A and B are shown apart, each in its own frame.
Chain A
Amino acid sequence: MDDDIQKLRDEYLNLEFDEVSFDLDGERMAMYGQCCGETDPKFTDVKNEDFQAPPTFVSTLVGGRHLPKDMPVPDGVGMDAGKYVEWMAPLRAGHTLIGKSHLHDIYTKTGRSGRMIFFVTRMELFDGDEHVANADTRTVFRERPSG
């Protein structure tokens, strides 16, 4: 582990830095399902008795910040490198979720073009007291070669 990365991990991992609320809109959930090719009415028809968001809808819930406000970030533009969803319970229209974000992991990969630094931000989503999902976003910064 590079020293600078270890320092970031020591100072910032697992500390909550953002909390937001989401009012789950049925039309938005249904349109997401339709645009993505879902065919089951429980994902596309708000009038279906079991209507719920497709599990991947969790990835569309974006917090106020991706990274801690005071954390130094590498030069360059952060790119969305991937998304992970852990689904635990249905997301229902009309409910309000609370999303609490923390840095879940920081790691690097080194390729021919230099070092890439990955930040994994995890937003834990709660419907009342029930933990309904985790949404991870991987943001990558590609460092400019020195010299």
Chain B
Amino acid sequence: MPIPALFSGRDPVARTVNVITDVEFGEELPSFEPDVSLDNVKLHGKFVGWGTGRFTSHEQAKKEGFPGAIVPGVMSQGFLGAMIHRWAPKAVITAIDTVFRAPVMVDNPHKITGIVTDIDEDEGTVEIDISISNEKEETRVFGTATAKLPK
């Protein structure tokens, strides 16, 4: 039986899963670097919302007491959802809960992670611990997601 990446210390293998039996307990989802650039946050602000100064201007954010512009929480949640979809293209995310512990800073590299913590093959569901951390490995956003996969 393969050793899940969580326990082996290996980087997660960039693979996709299609059915519930493909999923391994403890496996780490392939990640991607979320685009937290000012340009992308501005684009989001223009078309989706959250386009005010604290999100789109480092100067304005500093006036409001932040170290710089911050990424809207709805984008952070979206990055985590996209990670699950890339890993399991046929999955349906039925629930996702995110706690905004600290701001995700614009123009600062961040890492998103997901780890499978439970599998229910009868229901076809998986539970995934999700998080976003910065270069100092400080957790900025964390939570859980439930996804349903074909059997």
Contacts and interface: CB of A to CB of B under 8 A. Distances in A.
A81 B86 CA distance: 27
Contacts of A33: 78, 82
Given A37-B32, A80-B73, A55 B48 contact: no
B143 A82 contact: yes
Query: Which among A43, A57, A87 has the greatest number of chain B C-beta atoms within 10 A?
Result: A87
B85 A40 contact: yes
B44 A31 contact: yes
A83 B73 contact: yes
Interface residues of A, number: 29
Contacts of B95: 84-87
A82 B35 CA distance: 20
B73 A36 contact: no
A32 B44 contact: yes
B98 interface: yes
Residue from B40, B80, B81, B97 having most chain A Cβ neighbours under 10 A: B81
10 contacts: A36-B79, A56-B78, A56-B81, A56-B93, A56-B96, A62-B49, A82-B99, A82-B143, A83-B73, A83-B98
